[in-house]
Amino acid sequence: MTDLSAPAWGDELPSGADIVVVGAGIVGTAIAARLAATGADVCLLERAGPAAGSSSSGEGNLLLSDKLPGPELDLAMRSLSLWHELGDEAGARIELERKGGLVAAWDAAQLSALHALADRQEAAGVAVRRLEGVDLADVEPQLSRHVAGAVFYEADSQVQPVHAVAHQLERAVANGCRTVRGAEALRWRSGVEGAAVLETTCGSLRVGTAVVNAAGPWAGELAARLGSDLPVVPRRGHVLVTEPVVSVTAHKVYEADYVGSIHDAGDGWQCSSVVESTASGTMLLGSSREFVAWSAAPAPAIVAAIAERAIALFPGLAGVRLLRTYIGFRPATPDRLPAIGWDAEIPHLLHATGHEGAGIGLSLATAEAVQCLFERRTPPVGLEAFDPARFSEAPEPTKTAPT
Ligand SMILES: Cc1cc2nc3c(=O)[nH]c(=O)nc-3n(C[C@H](O)[C@H](O)[C@H](O)COP(=O)(O)OP(=O)(O)OC[C@H]3O[C@@H](n4cnc5c(N)ncnc54)[C@H](O)[C@@H]3O)c2cc1C
């Protein structure tokens, strides 16, 4: 079991650091680990604890299958190869499993749309296998016979995100990163000549080059505290956990309309079935999407819909009992793409956030991109589509920058 309670954590706020990363989720710890490995002077601030936010509520999927060809797929492909390198180094500790993902279509229209997407993903270099009839039953024997066809993505993988956060934290600390738990970033301290000073609940620290906003679903709030506008809001999701069962599926299996639910901007809730097993034998059944701020009480109608749709995909789940339901909040931007790059107006502020339901998967390539920005190098994947400035309207000269 991973102990996150912390030999890795110091409690003393240093007087300053060149780079201050705010948020010890998967994104912040990946950045801290990567920068510290280059010898950078990094301090990681976290107000609660490691993986206290979104990163402990995800299923840990590292997916190519749900990415639309273009910048996000490119970032996901780069990140997946970095995850596989990390998996080779970290071994079983982060439970990285190259399990493969299967996307199931219920009818001919869905199947044709799924094939069209798979064609474009294949052209971008993703390995896909179209499956129907006996071939499909061979790969997923317990899948409903009402499924019209599917596409199998062998590269789709899974990791245990909390263990991955712990691993990155240890790597960061081993390379000299200072970590402070219980420190909440509040605002720039005004009246300090010639330097940026960040005020926290534990005191102030001088910032050399940048504060990195890795505050996940709170990134919009942190940006506002630092004088910027960044439209990152929480997008709620439910996940159901079953009792341990024997081999329902060895893959991640989800309905073809899942990709549409990510991009749906509707007011109500969306639910699309996602079914997968874990190393302990429990099944994770997901997932829903809705904008209801920080509402933490599970909605019975959503829990029922997730269970019904999972049983429709795998009828054998009908007699299986639920252990629990949990809620998490994805950091969502209006276009569902992350915000990675310098703030358009506020000096010393760099954003690395807004990954919606793909932050675990995209974290390592995000950290690599952040390192490239600090080193003024061109990142392997272009960042134009992720530029936080895309959300800016006309410049507002009244914004408060650090003095
Ligand atoms: C139900 C569900 C399923 C998901 N499934 C997957 C999946 O299968 N694959 C995938 O890739 N992604 C998945 N995601 C999305 C993924 O979990 C997120 O995109 C990712 O965890 C975001 O990581 P983060 O580090 O940016 O944010 P977080 O993990 O939320 O970390 C942010 C941290 O910042 C801290 N913080 C905030 N404000 C401050 C402040 N002012 N001062 C100090 N600290 C602060 C918080 O305490 C928190 O610890 C899922 C999400 C949900 C909700």
* Residue-range domain boundaries for the chain: 16-57+161-232+335-391, 101-154+234-332
Ligand 1 atom at minimum distance from 183 CA: 43
Ligand 1 centroid to Cα of residue 53, in Å, is 5
CB 77 within 8 A of CB 156: no
Residue 403 has pLDDT above 50, yes or no: no
The pair of structure tokens assigned to 14 is 């240093």
- Centroid of ligand 1 to alpha carbon of 356 (angstroms): 9
Tell how far the Cα of 357 is from the centroid of ligand 1, in angstroms.
Answer: 9
Ligand 1 atom closest to the CA of 331, numbered from 1: 19
Atom from ligand 1 closest to the CA of residue 327: 1
In the predicted structure, residue 263 carries a pLDDT above the cut 80: no
- Alpha carbon dihedral 286, 339, 362, 254, in 10-degree steps, equals 30
- What Rg value do the Cα atoms of the chain yield, rounded? 21
* Distance of CA 330 from the midpoint of ligand 1 (Å): 6
135 pLDDT exceeds 70?
Answer: yes
Beta-carbon contacts of residue 124 (< 8 Å; ≥ 6 apart): 69, 73, 74, 77
344 CB-near residues (< 8 Å, 6+ apart)? 228, 388, 389, 392, 395
CA of 54 to the centre of ligand 1 (A): 3
Residue 147 alpha carbon to ligand 1 centre in Å: 33
Instruction: Provide residues with CB under 6 Å of ligand 1.
Output: 22-28, 45-48, 52-55, 57-61, 184-185, 214-218, 222, 237, 239, 287, 328-331, 353, 355, 357-361
Nearest protein CA to atom 20 of ligand 1, as residue: 359
- Tens of pLDDT along 63-109? 999 999 999 999 999 999 999 999 999 978 999 999 999 999 999 99
Distance, CA of 395 to chain centre: 30
- The CA distances from residue 219 to 81, 346, 365, in Å, are 27, 15, 19
Of the CATH numbers 3.40.50.1220, 3.40.720.10, 1.10.40.30, 3.30.9.10, which one belongs to the domain with range 101-154+234-332?
A: 3.30.9.10
Check whether 7 has a pLDDT greater than 90.
no
Residue nearest to atom 48 of ligand 1 (CA): 53
Q: How far is the CA of 215 from the centre of ligand 1 (A)?
A: 7
- pLDDT, one tens digit per residue, over 51-72 is 999 999 988 999 999 999 999 9
Given ligand 1 and candidates 4, 9, 55, 233, which is best to mutate, with the most ligand atoms within 8 Å of its CB? 55
Q: Of all atoms in ligand 1, which is nearest to the CA of residue 186?
A: 41
Residue nearest to atom 53 of ligand 1 (CA): 328
CA 26 – ligand 1 centroid, Å? 7
Q: Give nearest CA residue, ligand 1 atom 50.
A: 58
Q: Give the mean pLDDT of 250-266.
A: 81
Tokens of 277: 């097993």
Tokens encoding 216:
């996940």
Q: Mean pLDDT for the chain? A: 92
> What pLDDT shows up at residue 214?
98
Q: ∠ CA(94), CA(99), CA(104), 5° rounding?
A: 135
DSSP 178-231: EEEET--EEEEPTT-TTSEEEEETTEEEEEEEEEEE--GGGHHHHHHHTT----
Percent of the chain whose predicted confidence (pLDDT) is above 90 = 83
How is domain 16-57+161-232+335-391 classified at the CATH fold level?
A: FAD/NAD(P)-binding domain (3.50.50)
Residue 195 above 90 pLDDT?
no
pLDDT in tens, 356-401: 999 999 999 999 999 999 999 999 999 999 999 999 864 444 444 4
